Amino acid sequence: MNHSSQANTQQGGQEEAFELAVNLLRSSRRVAVLTGAGVSAESGVPTFRDAGGLWEGHRVEDVACPEAFERNPAFVWKFYNQRRAGLKTVLPNAGHHALVDLEQRLGTGNFTLITQNVDGLHRAAGSVRILELHGNLGRTRCTGCSRVEDRSGETLTDLPACPHCQSPLRPDIVWFGEVLPAKAWEEAEEAVRNCRCLLVVGTSAVVYPAAGLIYLARAVNAAVIEINRENTPASSLARVSLFGPSGQILPQLVTRLGAGDDA
């Protein structure tokens, strides 16, 4: 990694880092964005790994997996019902809104928002071109008839059954050890292959295959811009890292991008 081509705010170069990020975005007709739980943190949605990756003392990987659901579906539903209940009161934050502005600025055909989040907040904010890699908390999927339904806003029991075939329902979430939805994944790979710049926001960049998109961006010579509160494995792949809360950094970045329009 050529160190002189990197800039980051932790090394005191915040102004320089913003300038570089703005220049990279200005020279990129096509932009892809990969978001993770950090982008929703300022909306009050808990991230997965900031609390040590534990839920009631259990590793998230041991709750969000098919084996846990087979062993004890009520335990898994309790975790997801807590997260579903939390969603009722949350709203998109300034970071989500800045990504809507960025899409409008570039045009939907030149912009793809790839998210690992299952909270639906990008759509609530108004983003149009969204690929949800890990499913959506609002939806259920029947383990019998496979029907997928939007049950957002409803309170579900800890053992909900399909209203059509009475088989157990599961959250329409991609669990550890499961395959990502093929269409969303193919489109995500294509978006990254065709972008000039990949913005990586609020993800610990440790869960694959999503994190592999950052390597794919590098492989096709797209510039990676990272926004996070701290260093992650993506930092060493990024041309520039902007350290801080995405609810503040993203709006600043998009405002600066607009500011030079007349120049």
Catalog residues that contact ligand OAD under the rule CB under 6 A: 36-38, 41-42, 47-50, 60, 64, 116, 134, 173-175, 202-204, 207, 228-230, 232, 245-247
Indicate the residue among 26 and 49 with the shorter CB distance to ligand OAD: 49
Which 3 state secondary structure label does DSSP give 198?
strand
246-259 and 14-26 helices cross at what angle (nearest 10)?
60
Listed residue (180, 213, 207) closest to 195, CA to CA: 213
Closest approach of ligand OAD to the CB of residue 122, in Å: 13
Closest approach of ligand OAD to the CB of residue 136, in Å: 11
Q: Shortest Cβ contact with ligand OAD: which residue?
A: 38
Closest approach of ligand OAD to the CB of residue 250, in Å: 9
Indicate the residue among 106 and 114 with the shorter CB distance to ligand OAD: 114
Structure tokens belonging to residue 233:
């494995």
- Separation CA 93–CA 247 (nearest Å): 6
- Separation CA 253–CA 242 (nearest Å): 10
Contact 63, 79 (CB under 8 A): yes
Indicate the residue among 81 and 204 with the shorter CB distance to ligand OAD: 204
Closest approach of ligand OAD to the CB of residue 4, in Å: 26
Residue 134: active-site member: yes
- Separation CA 129–CA 143 (nearest Å): 29
Listed residue (23, 100, 94) closest to 260, CA to CA: 23
- Separation CA 49–CA 248 (nearest Å): 21
94-106 and 246-259 helices cross at what angle (nearest 10)?
30
- Separation CA 179–CA 200 (nearest Å): 22
Listed residue (136, 255, 245) closest to 184, CA to CA: 136
Indicate the residue among 22 and 210 with the shorter CB distance to ligand OAD: 210
Indicate the residue among 30 and 204 with the shorter CB distance to ligand OAD: 204
Indicate the residue among 22 and 180 with the shorter CB distance to ligand OAD: 180
- Separation CA 165–CA 143 (nearest Å): 10
Omega cis (within 30) before 171: no
**Catalytic residue, candidates 96, 97, 122, 134:** 134
Report the catalytic residues. 134
